[in-house]
Chains A and B, each alone.
Chain A
Amino acid sequence: MSGRIRLNWGFLFFFLPVALWLLLLIVLPHAELLRLSFTSSRPGGFTLQNYMAFFSEPIYWLTFVRTAFYSVIVTFLVMVIALPVAFYITKVARVRAGGFLMVLILVPFWVSELIRVYGWIILLRESGVINRLFTSIGLFSQPIEMLYNDVTMIMGLVYTSMLFMVVPIVGVMDALDDSLIEAAYDLGASKTAIWRTIIIPHCMPGMVSGGIIVFMLVLGSYLTPNLMGGKNSLWFTEQIYNQIILYFNWNQGAAFGFLLLLLSSLIIWIALKVTGQNLGEVVK
């Protein structure tokens, strides 16, 4: 009897903070946002007008589709770059050099995202380092605006999320036995065949978990698209910000927030189905 009580206390001790955290920071705000998204700023009951506005105003849903599309592209690009980087760190570089390279990837993340983005701006703006260098050596006849377009924004997003893909892939690739690669090579496989049949299938769980993290980070990022994409490259998070902060329209902002949540859940679900992974395995 007393044993059971003690067990319950122990369980409560660890469970309570988690439960409170989930309830106060996740469930309650979302419940409130959900309620807000179905009400109007004017007095009145249940309404779908916030969701209707999303579909009737092309700028909203076009930004939404753009955001989703670019997030998928960024995730894919990060994966394509991270795979050879992780391969180099785990299989090519010597053990100590590999550790040093990991630190190199980690170091930029000691600085806040804001500072990193300003770093890019200093490099790329019209009066920036690159423009001055290229005009002084005569490569450009006049400075070129390299900021505030889609390509720069995608580059910035790839840069800021690289770490979150490299780390999980390094984790799984480290566990890949070198002799499997050698065995495939010995059995006649070309380098592309080794990547396709051995390395990528082995790294799939790490790639999918890295992909989920990067995709969610990119989809929900605000700073990088705002500062590097500017007015020409709208991101859906900016629409939410505008609704809530500029127009004080919490109801519209809440509806957009829920649409974004729905979108990320849907795309991750599709990605898991396509790659044949399940969420439980991947988050391990």
Chain B
Amino acid sequence: MPFALSVHGLTKKFGNFTAVENISFDVEDGKFFSILGPSGCGKTTLLRMIAGFYRQDGGTILFNGEDMSSVPPNRRPVNLVFQNLALFPMMNVFENVAFGLRRRGEKGSGVARKVNDMLERVGLPDSGEKQISQLSGGQKQRIAIARCLVLDPAVLLLDEPLGALDAKLREHMKVELKTLQANVGTTFVYITHDQSEAMVMSDTVAVMNKGTFEQTGSPQELYHRPRSSFVAQFVGNNNRFLIVPSRDDGGAPAGLYAGRFSFILDDACRSLQDGIPCEMFVRPEAMVIEPGSDTPGFNRMPVQVRAVLFDGGNSRLLVIPEGTEDEIVVMLPQTGLYDHIRAGDRIMVGWDPGISLCFAGNGGKPYDER
């Protein structure tokens, strides 16, 4: 069975700048596929090429196995939910949803039936007579999606549609969007810079950086087995240590951090070249506060607490390894065990070397979400 969407070797240049470089991927029918990347990584350009608004400089785009690389947007079996939704203010809700059907030349009771079915499906029956300005943010969202889904597209593209919503509603819409997709079974291609949106909703996530896909996989794969330093930093939170690899007496890989702490590395880091600086990542949630001395093979490090960031179940400690300027984030479980920790305290943190990750090269500047 052909893929709902297949992209081969897609490239787009603006002058000397290559916005999208030789990207290929396939999306299976009925899946939720996300493209996750920082702003300026080329994800919107990629989306606009799939929708047909930009003409690619190279590569092909196939829908259900049919090459549509040079078909204009109004004749592609794909619809786009715009970042600002782009609902038509000159029409009421019914006419907005009916717009695409009418452009296909459908008339009469068939249109009314399909539109009302769709409005019911997105949970807004009887809102057909409303004006767009009378809708709330979440309702507009649903109408924008309904307007596309009523056309039964092969692929629905979504361009950060949750960006304009407030945090609470965004959390709610994530779940709703996922449920909606599961119900209608349409293939969704969702682009976002918010890793949490991508992780919660997607079957597959492609992490995009500087015009190329760094890694494609399930959210779990990306989280547990990132294949590059960028993915390790972009997906989930991570602490980054610049280390110099070496071997311990038994020949197992080890790393020297800040010239004073020697860490045991994961066996997978064996391939690193001794003496050449590289990056090591340990997730905040993998860090253990005051690890017992009865756990052999643990990495331990004395740190000073700079701040306690209380945020309910997502509380963290901001700590500084002694003798360095680096800031490390450690998850603070709300079990009551660590309530005594205050800013300025000296504590021990530790982690199992098996969950740390190493990448060759110092990767230049760390990725900064701000």
* With A185-B73, A187-B151, A188-B103: A201-B90 Cβ-Cβ less than 8 Å: yes
Distance of A190 from chain B, by nearest CB (Å): 6
Does the CB pair B90–A188 fall under 8 Å? no
How many residues on chain A are close to B (CB under 8 Å)?
A: 17
B75 at the interface (CB under 8 A from A): yes
Q: Which of B72, B84, B148 contacts A177 (CB 8 A)?
A: B84
For A182, A190, A193, the residue with the greatest tally of chain B CB atoms inside 10 Å of its CB is: A182
* Residues of chain A contacted by B74 (CB below 8 angstroms): 185-190
Interface SS of chain A: helix, strand, loop or mixed? Answer: helix
Point out the residues of chain B lying under 8 angstroms from A198, CB to CB. Answer: 88, 90
B75, A180: Cβ atoms closer than 8 Å: no
Residues of B158-190 contacting chain A, CB below 8 A: none
**B213 at the binding interface (Cβ < 8 Å):** no
Determine if A278 is an interface residue (Cβ-Cβ < 8 Å): no
In the bound assembly, the distance between CA atoms of A187 and B151 in angstroms comes to 8
Report whether A186 and B88 are in contact in the complex, using a CB–CB cutoff of 8 Å. no
Report B56-84 residues with CB < 8 Å from chain A CB.
Answer: 72-75, 79-80, 82-84
Query: What residues of chain B lie closer than 8 Å to A180, measured between beta carbons?
Result: 86, 88
Cα(A189)–Cα(B74), bound, Å = 6
Known: A187-B148, A190-B103. A177 touches B86 (CB 8 A): yes
Q: Which residues on A sit within 8 Å (CB–CB) of B52?
A: 186
Q: Mark A243-265, 1 if CB is under 8 A from B, else 0.
A: 00000000000000000000000
Contact (Cβ within 8 A) B99 A184 = yes
By size class, the interface of chain B is 20 to 34
- B147 CB–A CB distance under 8 Å: yes
Instruction: Judge whether A183 and B90 touch: CB under 8 Å.
Output: no
A127 at the B interface (CB under 8 A): no
B308 to chain A, nearest CB (A): 44
Say yes or no for A179: interface residue by CB 8 A criterion.
yes
Query: With A197-B99, A202-B90 given, is the CB distance from A183 to B75 under 8 Å?
Result: no
- Contact: B103 with A183, CB < 8 Å? no
* B103→A193 contact, CB < 8 A: yes
Asked if B53 lies at the interface with its beta carbon under 8 angstroms from chain A, I say yes
For A185-224 the 0/1 string (1 means CB < 8 A from B) is 1111110010001100110000000000000000000000
- Cα A188 to Cα B104 with chains together (Å): 7
A→B interface (CB under 8 Å):
177, 179-180, 182-190, 193, 197-198, 201-202
The 5 closest A-B pairs by CB, nearest first: A183-B86, A187-B100, A179-B86, A188-B103, A201-B90
Q: List 19 A-B contacts (CB under 8 A).
A: A177-B84, A179-B83, A179-B84, A180-B86, A180-B88, A182-B80, A183-B88, A184-B99, A186-B73, A187-B79, A187-B100, A187-B103, A188-B75, A188-B104, A193-B103, A197-B88, A197-B91, A201-B90, A202-B90
